[in-house]
Structure 1
Amino acid sequence: MSSLRAKIQDVFNEPACEQNRGKDAKARKKGCSKPLTPGAAGGGCAFDGAKIVLQPITDVAHLIHAPLACEGNSWDNRGAASSGPTLWRTSFTTDLTELDIVMGQGERKLFKAIREIKEAHRPPAIFVYPTCVTALIGDDIEAVCRRAAEKFGLPVVPVNAPGFVGSKNLGNKLAGEALLEHVIGTVEPDDAGPYDINILGEFNLSGEFWLVKPLLDRLGIRVRACIPGDARYLDIASAHRARAAMMVCSTALINLARKMEQRWDIPFFEGSFYGITDTSEALRQISQLLVKKGADPEILDRTEAMIADEEAIAWKKLAAYRPRLEGKRVLLNTGGVKSWSVVHALMEIGIEIVGTSVKKSTVEDKERIKQILKDDNHMFEQMPARELYAMLSEHKADIMLSGGRTQFIALKAKTPWLDINQERQHPYAGYEGVVQLVRQIDLAIHNPIWCQVREPAPWDCQPAVREELPRTKSEAATLHAVQEFAGTTADDFGEC
């Protein structure tokens, strides 16, 4: 537990974080999480954050050492995609019971579970996650993992991030610490080259990194490790031989990027693959970092040539949507890197941003938004559901982009909505991704269903009922009988 306390303190003192550097010593010890108010959701625990970062490593067995309920965090919690192995989709847990806890059988049961996974699946590594229960009863996870690694001849990595130690964001960083301590640098590649890079904080949601990787392949740039999206254990273990790195989400793995630069001299920058301009700028910065590390300068010319070709194709495709979307108003209720990268992507085609949430954004993210929007009047830390509904019902936005938790507010306000968070079904990265994003916005805004749901309900204004004279005596008798049965006559019918 003392080692865990030291790791947490080290994360709180992260010097690469601009916001952290502005705090005094007392404020820094409190970390980045805001105190919760009664009834408010915490947004995920440290265990949840660690699992989110590491689970997309697709060929690894992820073992939860805890009661069964803790593995409610399943493989599909972020919509990450794999191009090969599927072991990450299998849930493994020691399924501790009250009897195991009382009798002190937790460590023995963990060792047995590791052996069973090794014999049944033969993964290249096993990641072990303790949770609140096993951390509180004092199971020595690190000792069990060391013994199992010696006994079974494969890496067994302890991910020491029980839920009670802090927020989901803290768990992200503790997962990065686990990779630094137990994985990265443990394998020496025999094919290291001057064009190897790492991508940090990219989760390959809906397979969107597959829209970016072909661009890098055309330039001769090899992604040695994408952490964690569609990653393999051996790729991450040899990631220390990359020449440069791009950080996509600083709030998750900034400590990993900084320490890899300190230990192995891998320079990094923070960029985005959302939008035409940001994608082009990210490709330029990658090439420039590689040249500084000894790559042939001719890659800069090849990069510019490819950017010109790809931008021309993308703008040609977007031209068809500009007349339909120019001037449309978008409310962006998300956070992190998307709070500025998606804003920039939408403004490039003439869409107006009426507001963007910065709840989970860093100081750097907020500064980028100010530069893009020219002011901070459209930034909001948090908007209550009631205010969000009022804004949409008053038609101050034509569409809302957000996560699944606020979709019903938009639907209640009869406003188009599009999922932009991790549960999304379409990839939005790269040049092809921004075209897909604009296409989905166009489909959502111009869906004919909105014209129908906004019309008054039939019972709000009934049309006048005009009685038609029956043509035969039998029809008249039938109508009279029905009216008597219902207790009404023709005179009871009137206009709305």
Structure 2
Amino acid sequence: MSSLRAKIQDVFNEPACEQNRGKDAKARKKGCSKPLTPGAAAGGCAFDGAKIVLQPITDVAHLIHAPLACEGNSWDNRGAASSGPTLWRTSFTTDLTELDVVMGQGERKLFKAIREIKEAYGPPAIFVYPTCVTALIGDDIDAVCKRAAEKFGLPVVPVNAPGFVGSKNLGNKLAGEALLEHVIGTVEPDDAGPYDINILGEFNLSGEFWLVKPLLDRLGIRVRACIPGDARYFDIACAHRARAAMMVCSTALINLARKMEQRWDIPFFEGSFYGITDTSGALRQISQLLVKKGADPEILGRTEALIAEEEAIAWKKLAAYRPRLEGKRVLLNTGGVKSWSVVHALMEIGIEIVGTSVKKSTVEDKERIKQILNDDNHIFEQMAARELYAMLSEHKADIMLSGGRTQFIALKAKTPWLDINQERQHPYAGYDGMVELVRQIDLAIHNPIWCQVREPAPWDCQLAVREELPRTKSETATLHAVQEFTGTTADDFGEC
């Protein structure tokens, strides 16, 4: 536990975090967690955050050392996609019982589970996750993993991020620490080249990184490791031989990017593949970093040629949507890198942003939003469900882009909604992804269902018609009883 405490403190003191550098020493020790609001959900725990970052490593067996309920459903981690192995979708757990805890059988059961996985599946590595229960009873995960690695001849990586140590974001960073300590740098590649890069914080949601990788391939740039989206253990183990790196989500793996720069001199920048302008900017920065690290400067010219070609194709496709979407108002209720990258992408085709949340966004993210919008009034840290509903029901936005948690607010307000968080079904990265995002927004806004759901209900029409017809005494009494029970009058029904 002392080593875990030291790791947590190290993550809290992350010097690459702009927000962290602005705090005094006392505030820095508390990390970035916020006090919980009574009655509000706490969000994910550290274990959840570590699993989110590491589970998309597709050929690895992920073993949860805990009671059965801690594992949950491996298919429900995120919408990450794999181009090959499916072992990451298999749930492995030691399934500790009360008797195991009382009798001290946890470590023995963990060792046995590692052996069974090795014999049945033969993975290149096994990641072991302790949770609150096994951490509190004092199971020595590090010792068991070390002994199992020696005995079975494969890497067994302890991921020390039990849920009680902190938030999901802390778990993200502890997962990065596990990769640094036990994986990255453990294998020397025999094909390292001057055009190798790492992509950090890219989860390949709905396979959207597959829209970006072909662009890099055309430039002769090889992705040595995409961490964690569609990753392989061997690729991550060789990631220290990359020449440059791009950070897609700094709040998750900023510590990983900084320490890789310190240890192996891999410079990095933070960018985005959402939107035409940001995708082009990311490609330019990757090429420039590679040239600084010794690559042939001719790649800069090839990059500009590729950008010009792809932008022309994308703008031609988007031209068909501009007349239908120009001036439409969008409310963006998300966070992180999407809080500014998606804003920039939508404004490129004339869509008006009436509000964007900055929850989970870094200081740099917020500064980018201010530069893009030139107006602080459209930026909100967090908006309550009641305020979201009021804004949508008053028709201040034509569509809301958010995650699945707030979709029912939009549907209740009879407003179009589109999922842009990890549960989304369509990839939105790169040039083709931008076209797909605009197409989905167009389909949502112009869906004929909204005209139908905004009309008065048929039974309201029937009551309104009956108001204008002669009624018997019994019919009048019945109608008055209905109005008294529902709290409505004939004026509430409107015209049908």
TM-score class, shorter-chain normalisation, is over 0.9
Show the counterpart of 2:19: 19
Displacement, 1:77? 2.0
Classify 1:220/1:455 alpha carbon distance in 2 versus 1 (closer, same or farther; 3 Å): same
Classify 1:108/1:416 alpha carbon distance in 2 versus 1 (closer, same or farther; 3 Å): same
Report if aligned partners of 1:462, 1:495 keep a CA contact under 8 Å in 2: no
Report if aligned partners of 1:65, 1:96 keep a CA contact under 8 Å in 2: yes
Show CA shifts across 1:41-90 (max 9, x none).
11100000000000000000000000000001523321100000000000
Classify 1:475/1:102 alpha carbon distance in 2 versus 1 (closer, same or farther; 3 Å): closer
> RMSD in angstroms over aligned alpha carbons?
4.7
Report if aligned partners of 2:274, 2:342 keep a CA contact under 8 Å in 1: yes
Displacement, 1:466? 9.8
Q: Distance in 2 between matches of 1:337 and 1:107?
A: 40
Show CA shifts across 1:402-455 (max 9, x none).
000000000000000000000000000000000000000000000000000000
Please state if 1:304 is matched with 2:301. Answer: no
Q: Distance in 1 between matches of 2:191 and 2:462?
A: 76
Report if aligned partners of 1:107, 1:140 keep a CA contact under 8 Å in 2: yes
Q: Which runs of 5+ in 1 are unaligned?
A: none
Structure 1 stretches of at least 4 aligned residues deviating more than 3 Å after TM superposition: 463-496
Structure 2 SS opposite 1:302: helix
Show CA shifts across 1:168-194 (max 9, x none).
000000000000000000000000000
Report if aligned partners of 2:460, 2:493 keep a CA contact under 8 Å in 1: no
Classify 1:68/1:302 alpha carbon distance in 2 versus 1 (closer, same or farther; 3 Å): same
Report if aligned partners of 1:465, 1:494 keep a CA contact under 8 Å in 2: no
Q: Distance in 2 between matches of 1:333 and 1:357?
A: 5
Report if aligned partners of 1:59, 1:87 keep a CA contact under 8 Å in 2: yes
Displacement, 1:469? 16
Q: Distance in 1 between matches of 2:12 and 2:484?
A: 80
Classify 1:116/1:490 alpha carbon distance in 2 versus 1 (closer, same or farther; 3 Å): closer
Query: Which deviates the most, 130-139 or 36-45?
Result: 36-45
Q: Distance in 2 between matches of 1:492 and 1:362?
A: 47
Classify 1:189/1:98 alpha carbon distance in 2 versus 1 (closer, same or farther; 3 Å): same
Show CA shifts across 1:308-366 (max 9, x none).
00000000000000000000000000000000000000000000000001011010000
Report if aligned partners of 2:464, 2:490 keep a CA contact under 8 Å in 1: no
Report if aligned partners of 1:46, 1:167 keep a CA contact under 8 Å in 2: yes
Classify 1:456/1:29 alpha carbon distance in 2 versus 1 (closer, same or farther; 3 Å): same
Classify 1:299/1:103 alpha carbon distance in 2 versus 1 (closer, same or farther; 3 Å): same
Classify 1:278/1:470 alpha carbon distance in 2 versus 1 (closer, same or farther; 3 Å): closer
Query: Which deviates the most, 480-489 or 317-326?
Result: 480-489
Q: Distance in 2 between matches of 1:432 and 1:311?
A: 10
Show the counterpart of 2:485: 485
Query: Which deviates the most, 278-287 or 481-490?
Result: 481-490
Show CA shifts across 1:194-240 (max 9, x none).
00000000000000000000000000000000000000000000000
Classify 1:484/1:260 alpha carbon distance in 2 versus 1 (closer, same or farther; 3 Å): closer
Residue identity over aligned pairs, in percent, reads: 96
Classify 1:282/1:465 alpha carbon distance in 2 versus 1 (closer, same or farther; 3 Å): closer
Displacement, 1:304? 0.1
Report if aligned partners of 1:50, 1:172 keep a CA contact under 8 Å in 2: yes
Report if aligned partners of 2:12, 2:29 keep a CA contact under 8 Å in 1: yes
Show CA shifts across 1:3-56 (max 9, x none).
000000000000000000000001001100101122211110000000000000
Q: Distance in 1 between matches of 2:297 and 2:100?
A: 62
Classify 1:278/1:479 alpha carbon distance in 2 versus 1 (closer, same or farther; 3 Å): closer
Displacement, 1:464? 7.7
Report if aligned partners of 1:55, 1:75 keep a CA contact under 8 Å in 2: no
Report if aligned partners of 2:461, 2:493 keep a CA contact under 8 Å in 1: no
Q: Distance in 1 between matches of 2:286 and 2:489?
A: 82
Over alpha carbons, which structure has the higher Rg?
1
Classify 1:98/1:350 alpha carbon distance in 2 versus 1 (closer, same or farther; 3 Å): same
Displacement, 1:482? 22
Report if aligned partners of 1:200, 1:228 keep a CA contact under 8 Å in 2: yes
Structure 1 SS opposite 2:118: helix
Q: Distance in 2 between matches of 1:489 and 1:24?
A: 61
Q: Distance in 2 between matches of 1:334 and 1:233?
A: 31
Displacement, 1:394? 0.2
Displacement, 1:461? 2.9
Displacement, 1:158? 0.1
Show CA shifts across 1:448-479 (max 9, x none).
00000000112223278799999999999999
Displacement, 1:487? 25
Classify 1:454/1:185 alpha carbon distance in 2 versus 1 (closer, same or farther; 3 Å): same
Q: Which runs of 5+ in 2 are unaligned?
A: none
Classify 1:339/1:476 alpha carbon distance in 2 versus 1 (closer, same or farther; 3 Å): closer
Q: Distance in 1 between matches of 2:460 and 2:46?
A: 50
Report if aligned partners of 1:463, 1:495 keep a CA contact under 8 Å in 2: no
Displacement, 1:491? 23
Displacement, 1:375? 1.8
Classify 1:480/1:15 alpha carbon distance in 2 versus 1 (closer, same or farther; 3 Å): closer
Report if aligned partners of 2:246, 2:270 keep a CA contact under 8 Å in 1: yes
Show CA shifts across 1:88-114 (max 9, x none).
000000000000000000000000000
Give the TM-score normalised by structure 2. Answer: 0.94
Report if aligned partners of 2:73, 2:91 keep a CA contact under 8 Å in 1: no
Classify 1:482/1:264 alpha carbon distance in 2 versus 1 (closer, same or farther; 3 Å): closer
Query: Which deviates the most, 438-447 or 65-74?
Result: 65-74
Query: Which deviates the most, 230-239 or 474-483?
Result: 474-483
Classify 1:465/1:328 alpha carbon distance in 2 versus 1 (closer, same or farther; 3 Å): closer
Report if aligned partners of 2:399, 2:416 keep a CA contact under 8 Å in 1: yes
Classify 1:457/1:296 alpha carbon distance in 2 versus 1 (closer, same or farther; 3 Å): same
Structure 1 SS opposite 2:255: helix
Show CA shifts across 1:257-282 (max 9, x none).
00000000000000000000000000
Query: Which deviates the most, 287-296 or 451-460?
Result: 451-460
Q: Distance in 1 between matches of 2:294 and 2:479?
A: 93
Displacement, 1:136? 0.2
Q: Distance in 2 between matches of 1:181 and 1:336?
A: 26
Classify 1:268/1:472 alpha carbon distance in 2 versus 1 (closer, same or farther; 3 Å): closer
Show the counterpart of 1:338: 338
Show the counterpart of 2:450: 450
Classify 1:466/1:450 alpha carbon distance in 2 versus 1 (closer, same or farther; 3 Å): closer
Structure 2 SS opposite 1:331: strand
Report if aligned partners of 1:276, 1:345 keep a CA contact under 8 Å in 2: yes
Classify 1:315/1:477 alpha carbon distance in 2 versus 1 (closer, same or farther; 3 Å): closer
Classify 1:485/1:256 alpha carbon distance in 2 versus 1 (closer, same or farther; 3 Å): closer
Show CA shifts across 1:135-191 (max 9, x none).
000000000000000000000000000000000000000000000000000000000
Classify 1:451/1:140 alpha carbon distance in 2 versus 1 (closer, same or farther; 3 Å): same
Classify 1:471/1:208 alpha carbon distance in 2 versus 1 (closer, same or farther; 3 Å): closer
